[in-house]
Amino acid sequence: MSRRRPAPTLLWGGALAGLLVATALAAPLLAPYDPAEQLDPPAGLYRPPGTVLAAVHLAGGGWRLADRVRRTAEGLEIERLGQAETLPADQVSNLTARGVADRRVFLLGSDRFGRDLASRVLYGTRVSLAVGLLAVALALTLGVAVGSAAAIGGRLADAVLMRGVDALMAFPWLFLMMALSAFLHPGPGLIVVILGATGWMAISRLTRAEILSLQNREFILAARGLGLSPFAILWRHLLPNAYTPAAIRATLQIADMILLEAALSFLGLGLQPPIPSWGNMISEGQDVLLQSWWVATFPGAALALTVIAFNLLADGLQDTFNPRAATLPRL
C-alpha cells in the first residue's frame, strides 16, 4: 500500500509555521536589544531602518545616542539632535582612542520611544503565536467536548447544545470580543481565555457531524456488542476517527485568533504597551505612516506572513487527508 504524498501547500505551510515557531522560541537570542528599552528617546525616536548611532555611556549611568563622535584632547565631542556637545573624559565610561566602544544599530528602525523595532517584532512573534496557539487549544478542547456530548448525549442534549451553539454563532464574533475586552481590560492570559472561550462553536459542529456519521459503522456496532460504555467507545473509537476535520479547522483558526488579537490590540482593547504585540505596534505607526513607514510596515508584514503560513498549513492538511474536498468550509 503506497503512502499518500503530502500536498505542496502542507510542506510550504509547515516550513513557514515551523520557522515562525523557532523564531518565537529563539527571540531572546535573536533580538539585539530589550524590546522595552528606551536608551535615549530624544535622539533615538523614529530612526529609519539601518541607522547606526554611537552609544555614549555616561559615568552617571545614562546613555546618549550620537550621530557622530570625535575624540578630542578634552574628552569626546558628540553631534546629536543637530547640535554639537563636548563631554569631559571623566564623564564617559566607554571612551576609546577613536571615540566610544558601543554602537546602537536599528536594523528595522525605531519607534516613537526610541525602542528597537527589530527586537519588538521578534518578541511580538512570541506574543502572537502564544496567544493564537493557546487560544486554539482551549477552543479545540471546548469544541470537541461540546460536539461529542451533543452527538452521544441523546436527542434532548443534542437539541439544547446545538441550539446554544447556533445562538452563539449568530452573534458577531468581533463585536463580542470587543465588548468583553472593553469590560475586562484583559492581559495576555485573559485574552487567551476570551478568544478560546468564544471560538469553539465551529469545531463543536464539525466534531458532532463526524461522530454522528461514525456511530452506525460496523466497528462501532461491534464495540457496543462487546459491552463497552459510551464513553469508552467515544474515547477509543469515535474521537480517533473524527479528529481530522476538527484539527484542520483548529489549524486554520490559529490565523483567525492571531488576527483577532492584533485587531483588539490595534483598537486599544487587547494587549497594552509596553507588551510588544503586532497589533499595538501597527496602531502606534498609523499616525506616522507616511513619515515613518517602517513602524507599521514590519509588524504588518510579520502578521501577514504568519496568517499565510497557517492558512497554507490548514489547506495542506485538508488536501492531504481529504483530497476530494476542494476547500475547507468556514463555518
Crossing angle of helices 239-266 and 201-214, rounded to 10°: 170
Look at residue 330 and tell me whether its pLDDT is greater than 70: no
- Work out the burial of residue 61: count CB atoms within 10 Å of its CB; fewer than 13 is exposed, 13-18 middle, 19 or more buried: exposed
Section 234-259 average pLDDT: 87
- For the ranges 80-89, 241-250, 276-285, 295-304, the maximum mean pLDDT occurs at 295-304
Look at residue 74 and tell me whether its pLDDT is greater than 90: no
C-beta separation of 195 from 257 below 8 A: yes
Please report the DSSP string for 175-192 in residue order.
Answer: HHHHHHHHHH---HHHHH
Q: Supply the DSSP symbol for 235.
A: I
Look at residue 1 and tell me whether its pLDDT is greater than 50: no
C-beta separation of 44 from 64 below 8 A: no
C-beta separation of 220 from 238 below 8 A: yes
Q: Write out pLDDT tens, residues 123-156.
A: 999 999 999 999 999 999 999 999 999 988 888 9
Strand segments (E) across the chain: 51-57, 63-66, 68-71, 75-80, 83-88, 102-106
Section 201-215 average pLDDT: 89
Q: Give CA–CA dist 193/185, Å, rounded.
A: 13
Q: Residue 322: its pLDDT value, please?
A: 66
Identify the bridge partners of residue 106 per DSSP, sorted by sequence position: 51
Look at residue 328 and tell me whether its pLDDT is greater than 60: no
Helix, strand, coil distribution of the chain in percent, nearest 5: 60, 10, 30
